[in-house]
Structure 1
Amino acid sequence: MKPTPSQRRRGPRVALLALVLCSLLVPLAFIFDRAPSGYATTDERRRQEVFLPSVDPVEQIGGGGVPVHRVPVHGARQDPPKKVSNGSTGVLQQHNHTEHRPSGVSAKPKVLPVPRTEPPKAVKEPTRIEVREDRKRRDNGTKEDEVENAKTCQLEFGSYCLWSTEHKVIMKDSIVKRLKDQLFVARSYYPSIAKLQGQEVLTQEMKQNIQEHERVLSASAVDADLPSFINTKIEQMEHTIARAKSCTVECHNVARKLRQILDMTDDEAHFHMKQSAFLYNLGSQTLPKTHHCLSMRLTLEYFKSPSLDSDVSLARKFNTRNHRHYVILSKNVLAASVVINSTVISSKEPGNNVFHILTDAQNFYGMKYWFARNSYNKAAIDVVNYEEMVLEKLPKLGMQELYLSEEFRVLIRSTEQPTEQTRMEYLSLFSHSHFFIPEIFKDLKKVVVLDDDVVIQRDLSFLWNLDMGDKVNGAVEFCGVRLGQVRNLLGKTKYDPKSCAWKSGVNVINLDKWKKHKVTEKYLILLKQVKIKDEVALREAAFSISLLSFQHLIYPLDERLILSGLGYDYGIDPEVARSSASLHYNGNMKPWLELGILEYKKYWRRFLTREDRFMDECNVNP
């Protein structure tokens, strides 16, 4: 039965009505579809947006694979913390990036102004001056973003950000980068093109080009590895993308896909950043294999050689009070050798110096053999097995393992001037092993404790003439951190909130006053109050215990005595470094590591003993 003329006319009307209805619904759907698409925001992404405008985090970066631990340093004006972190001592305060309100001000919703209905005015062409000022504003904004990104990076990844910035390599493989860009764009268009009717050929062509690009990139990471026909592939993909762009597709689908790819790329970049930071910290805390070779060869030669009895005249100095006694805690034979050699060369009376090296059982025999083979201008050197000493003579004190000075990374942010650039310092403090020094050297009256990452450039004999009064520990004070700013770490112990922190590196210890004030007993009492779950918590406890044990017992030394920061700060003036009395390589970039700052290594290398045959056999060249 054939349709009537009226029925034939009704078909186009219905189609036209449906087309008009779709043209109205599509814009409405686009307007109301404002929810962000792509991957959901994870907890880790939110943690990246947490920042501390009113607290200064202190992070410990210890040796031996100790993880980074963040704790706050409270500012002078600060509201009580709102959120307690999972750590045993850490308190973090979470704020929003977009809004900062004074305390006590309630949050009110922002009211948008009523839009004006005046007719639009003619657009005025910008002048050259306006264009220049606008460009300058954009440049300043870019610099501010870079500074803020650097602060965030340091807060999360530590000194790795400094090292990665210094060793940043400009990407030279432009063809590989172009292939990746083409692949991103093609992937974003492919789902939309595949849904179009009549574009099966284009869909197949785009799929084939995507697979070929992926195959090439899986085998080639640099331009030199690319095949000879790569230019043809690039032109084919460019042509395919141009055809895809000419097709009518839903823009929000393409934008959604691009956001997904961007989220995946950000997540992958953050993963590689974390992996690189972990490997950097692992490299900074691991002794190079050449140093292991040296230690093993020295230990082997010790047992192969006849008895190494030290010079009797030198051994008599070990317990004689009228000599200048230095104490060094170290597990690194080269580091201890540089400290001793630099001190002896800089001394006006080198024969009056006595060095006591406290080391562990693993490195004891290697160190003993090294210092028996090498002489240091008539200075007496006593290598002590700390673990054996504590186990045999001090069994009640425990702490048999040797701990070196603990380093804490301190990020200092001004609460009164939030726009001021964050400052980073490495605060070195005594470890648990330092508190047993008076029990080990009972016959001595005064000693100077040197860290094994120190280089001495001036005579230190004046330290023995200091009148420290009733003080115990002569140290350089660091008033950038006061006890009141770390109150959440100090527990319920009474303390003076205005007392300054102090630094290890070069410390004058009056052992008689130490025993008078019972510093070791005070340390043991504080240690019992700390909940020690594992070695990490034990080493973290050194921060609060060191500060509280020597409260009101610090004799402030001249800050010009020691220049700190050569293990993390790239901005130290070489002239200042040359003229300083001593240099402290505190930080991750130790001078005996490949990660060390090359410009500062020369001050350490000049005191290195290079003539020893084991140095050549193990290829030791720090």
Structure 2
Amino acid sequence: MKATPPQRRRGPRVAVLALVLCSLLVPLAILFDHASSSGDDVTTDERRRQEVVLPSIDRVVRRDPVIRLPVGGGVRQDAPKKISNGSSGVLPQPKQIDRRPSPSSTKPKVLPVPRTEPPKAVMEPNRQEVANDRKRRDRGAKADEVENAKACQLEFGSYCLWSTEHKVMMKDSIVKKLKDQLFVARSYYPSIAKLEGQEALSQEMKQNIQDHERILSASAVDADLPSFINKRILEMEHTIARAKSCTVDCHNVDKKLLQILDMTEDEAHFHMKQSAFLYNLGAQTLPKTHHCFSMRLTLEYFKSSSLNSDVSSAHKFNTPNHKHYVILSKNVLAASVVINSTVINSKDPGNNVFHILTDAQNFYGMKYWFARNSYKKSALHVINYEETILEKLPKHSMREMYLPEEFRVLIRDTEQLTEKARMEYLSLFSHSHFFIPEIFKDLKKVIVLDDDVVIQRDLSFLWNLNMGDKVNGAVQFCGVRLGQVRNLLGKTKYDPKSCAWMSGVNVINLEKWRKHKVTENYLQLLKQVKRTDEASLRAAAFPLSLLSFRHLIYPLDVNLTLSGLGYDYGIEQEVAWSYASLHYNGNMKPWLELGIPDYRKYWRRYLTREDQFMDECNVNP
């Protein structure tokens, strides 16, 4: 009877021990089961997340245009101010739809026999959620694409437009697949090499990586690949699959992927900068065929005994009754096209007088060319700008001739991210334009034409304009207002709401110019500009041109000149024919190989053909 109580006490102890053991084993079993069933999904999500990591791009929240000064010199006068929004650079992940059944859906539903799907009332919210999720994804992707385009245009300018238009789609799919396999294998190899018992896999992966590198170093296109390439691809696929099945430290793989991604992006950016430099070099350099052409004309001028076209028309040069056009150019063919297009479309070409201002290097070649070619009895006057300034303004130190300056303006609107950033090229007067009244003291009115302009209509109506007290008749460009570039204009008073203006076709009232002392005001403003080198001097043309003509601009009809043919690919043919003049402002001039092919025909139709020196120098723009 005394042994009975201990037996009774032993029963509860066993039961308690069993309960404790079950409480430990059951959670472990559930945990292992969950890990084994969802381990692959975790790896896939982690890999997908790493693929969308991009360098952070600060989103600019200002609507001010970004001005690069000048295009030719490549000087940045106003660096864009970037305000970070705290973005980490990771694209937002699409909202995951929870497809697990809700507690209410686990109850059995009694449905009519013909129906084999849930009622429409149950399906509609899921469809709406999927549609909204897809719209959010598309909107986010489009916004990021716009931001990337803005960043590219901000750094590389019109090269981004040119490279996009001339982008060649990759056709060598096998080479691309080899590179993708090499990318993945390199990311897994460091982690596999550290695992114990995976020496064979590590050696196999290393050998495959070396084989891929050797093949890609010798083959850049599919046609150059060896015949056994499919075998190598299958071997690498098998090796990568084995590597993915191993338990590796995801942090190491993640780190390696980021390293490879950074290296790839740095390499791509380097090639982008190199290509942009070569593009700008080609846009700013006179082709060797044009240089040969100019030199041949200069040589022939000195070989000719008596060739002077100015003598017969000299009486028209200082007569105010004629229609005087002024062109600043160093390009013989460009100046020839401007004059030829103006004369052909003029109703009274015999009343036209063209004054071509050029530098000393191209002066004799210009004289010889325009002496050999006639333009319907129009008078042609070729002037050595440097010699004229030395003669009439001996105290002025800036005697070099400057062509019209172009400034790249990037206009952004962050309130509508789906809208693409607009890039414009704003053409303004250079320093040389401000001495036109001193060069032509006997004239009262002139029309100044840029040498990248093509005239398509008669411009006689411009001579009948009553500009009142205004000095410069120009097409306004209200995409840029003076208040938006106040950091470039200094402390001079001006109307912040007034629009910028464009050169190209400008009606200049020289009498009003002298009355308002525009040249004197320009020289006074020039003294306040810090000029450290040639580039900063050219950059100063932006504020000086806008401030010198403040309140003195007469707005011309916007249909007078169509700008953008040197960078905008989206101009329709019907639109181009409707304008009185076309302006090839931008880097892609029509006489360059970089010129936009669809717009060259408007320029070529006024080009003088079948010339001996053009054939000898192989000039065929």
TM-score tier, shorter chain, comes to 0.7 to 0.9
Structure 2 match to 1:12: none
> Aligned partners of 1:262 and 1:385: how far apart in 2?
56
Mark the CA change 1:551 to 1:293 in structure 2 (over 3 Å): closer, same or farther: same
* 2:65 maps to which of 56, 66, 71: 56
Aligned AA for 2:577?
Answer: R
> Aligned partners of 2:191 and 2:505: how far apart in 1?
68
Task: Check conservation: 2:428, 2:502, Cα contact below 8 A.
Answer: yes
Mark the CA change 1:142 to 1:322 in structure 2 (over 3 Å): closer, same or farther: same
Task: Check conservation: 2:309, 2:370, Cα contact below 8 A.
Answer: no
Aligned AA for 1:454?
Answer: V
> Aligned partners of 1:526 and 1:620: how far apart in 2?
42
Aligned AA for 2:584?
Answer: Y
Secondary structure, aligned partner of 1:560: coil
Q: CA deviation at 1:137?
A: 4.2
1:305-348 deviations in Å (ceiling 9; x for gaps): 22312253322211121111110011111110100000000000
Q: Which region of structure 1 is more displaced relative to structure 2, 256-265 or 298-307?
A: 298-307
Q: CA deviation at 1:68?
A: 4.7
Equivalent positions of 1:81-230 (< 5 A) are 90=79, 92-96=81-85, 98=87, 131=130, 134-230=133-229
Is residue 2:384 matched to residue 1:389?
no
Is residue 2:488 matched to residue 1:481?
no
Structure 2 match to 1:362: 361
> Aligned partners of 1:140 and 1:394: how far apart in 2?
60
Mark the CA change 1:311 to 1:279 in structure 2 (over 3 Å): closer, same or farther: closer
Aligned AA for 1:51?
Answer: V
Mark the CA change 1:311 to 1:392 in structure 2 (over 3 Å): closer, same or farther: closer
Q: CA deviation at 1:421?
A: 4.4
> Aligned partners of 1:393 and 1:290: how far apart in 2?
35
Aligned AA for 2:320?
Answer: R
> Aligned partners of 1:267 and 1:581: how far apart in 2?
47
Mark the CA change 1:55 to 1:93 in structure 2 (over 3 Å): closer, same or farther: farther
1:266-305 deviations in Å (ceiling 9; x for gaps): 1211222222222222221112221112112112222222
Task: Check conservation: 1:53, 1:418, Cα contact below 8 A.
Answer: no
Mark the CA change 1:502 to 1:204 in structure 2 (over 3 Å): closer, same or farther: same
Structure 1 match to 2:541: 542
Mark the CA change 1:244 to 1:581 in structure 2 (over 3 Å): closer, same or farther: same
Structure 1 match to 2:456: 457
Task: Check conservation: 2:143, 2:418, Cα contact below 8 A.
Answer: no
> Aligned partners of 2:330 and 2:617: how far apart in 1?
18
Structure 2 match to 1:592: 591
Mark the CA change 1:548 to 1:120 in structure 2 (over 3 Å): closer, same or farther: farther
Task: Check conservation: 2:358, 2:401, Cα contact below 8 A.
Answer: yes
Is residue 2:315 matched to residue 1:316?
yes
Q: CA deviation at 1:610?
A: 1.0
1:156-215 deviations in Å (ceiling 9; x for gaps): 221111111111111101111111111111111111221222332322222222112112
Task: Check conservation: 1:52, 1:92, Cα contact below 8 A.
Answer: no
Aligned AA for 1:62?
Answer: V
Q: CA deviation at 1:49?
A: 2.5
Q: CA deviation at 1:412?
A: 2.4
Equivalent positions of 1:203-352 (< 5 A) are 203-310=202-309, 312-352=311-351
Secondary structure, aligned partner of 2:469: coil
Structure 2 match to 1:512: 511
Q: CA deviation at 1:438?
A: 0.9
Q: Which region of structure 1 is more displaced relative to structure 2, 447-456 or 551-560?
A: 551-560
> Aligned partners of 2:162 and 2:168: how far apart in 1?
12
Q: CA deviation at 1:155?
A: 2.0
Q: CA deviation at 1:446?
A: 0.9
Secondary structure, aligned partner of 1:244: helix
Q: CA deviation at 1:51?
A: 2.4
Q: CA deviation at 1:93?
A: 4.6
Q: Which region of structure 1 is more displaced relative to structure 2, 477-486 or 424-433?
A: 477-486
Mark the CA change 1:264 to 1:417 in structure 2 (over 3 Å): closer, same or farther: closer
Q: CA deviation at 1:473?
A: 0.9
Structure 2 match to 1:106: none
Aligned AA for 2:215?
Answer: V
> Aligned partners of 1:451 and 1:203: how far apart in 2?
67
Task: Check conservation: 1:55, 1:93, Cα contact below 8 A.
Answer: no
Task: Check conservation: 1:390, 1:398, Cα contact below 8 A.
Answer: no
> Aligned partners of 2:86 and 2:590: how far apart in 1?
39
Secondary structure, aligned partner of 1:319: coil
Structure 2 match to 1:85: none
Task: Check conservation: 2:65, 2:485, Cα contact below 8 A.
Answer: no
> Aligned partners of 1:412 and 1:142: how far apart in 2?
21
Q: Which region of structure 1 is more displaced relative to structure 2, 336-345 or 273-282?
A: 273-282
So what's the TM-score if we normalise by structure 2? Answer: 0.83
Mark the CA change 1:55 to 1:290 in structure 2 (over 3 Å): closer, same or farther: same
Structure 2 match to 1:437: 436
Task: Check conservation: 2:403, 2:432, Cα contact below 8 A.
Answer: yes
Task: Check conservation: 1:57, 1:70, Cα contact below 8 A.
Answer: no
Task: Check conservation: 1:186, 1:206, Cα contact below 8 A.
Answer: yes
Equivalent positions of 1:563-574 (< 5 A) are 563-574=562-573
Aligned AA for 1:377?
Answer: K
**Percent of pairs identical after alignment?**
77
Task: Check conservation: 2:328, 2:356, Cα contact below 8 A.
Answer: yes
Aligned AA for 2:152?
Answer: C
Q: CA deviation at 1:236?
A: 2.2
> Aligned partners of 2:60 and 2:516: how far apart in 1?
41
1:487-519 deviations in Å (ceiling 9; x for gaps): 111112222223221110001111121111111
Aligned AA for 1:430?
Answer: F
Mark the CA change 1:421 to 1:240 in structure 2 (over 3 Å): closer, same or farther: closer
Structure 1: 5+ residue runs without aligned partners? 1-19, 72-89, 100-118
Structure 1 match to 2:12: none
Q: CA deviation at 1:129?
A: 6.1
Mark the CA change 1:486 to 1:614 in structure 2 (over 3 Å): closer, same or farther: same
Q: Which region of structure 1 is more displaced relative to structure 2, 196-205 or 289-298?
A: 196-205
Aligned AA for 1:57?
Answer: V
Aligned AA for 1:447?
Answer: V
1:77-127 deviations in Å (ceiling 9; x for gaps): xxxxxxxxxxxxx5625232549xxxxxxxxxxxxxxxxxxx977699885
Give the aligned length. 549
Aligned AA for 1:291?
Answer: H
> Aligned partners of 1:393 and 1:443: how far apart in 2?
14
Structure 2 match to 1:74: none
Mark the CA change 1:491 to 1:311 in structure 2 (over 3 Å): closer, same or farther: closer
> Aligned partners of 1:585 and 1:464: how far apart in 2?
24
Mark the CA change 1:215 to 1:415 in structure 2 (over 3 Å): closer, same or farther: closer
Q: Which region of structure 1 is more displaced relative to structure 2, 341-350 or 473-482?
A: 473-482
Task: Check conservation: 2:143, 2:417, Cα contact below 8 A.
Answer: no
Mark the CA change 1:120 to 1:274 in structure 2 (over 3 Å): closer, same or farther: farther
Report the RMSD for the aligned CA atoms in angstroms: 2.8
Structure 2: 5+ residue runs without aligned partners? 1-27, 36-41, 89-101, 107-121
> Aligned partners of 2:416 and 2:222: how far apart in 1?
48
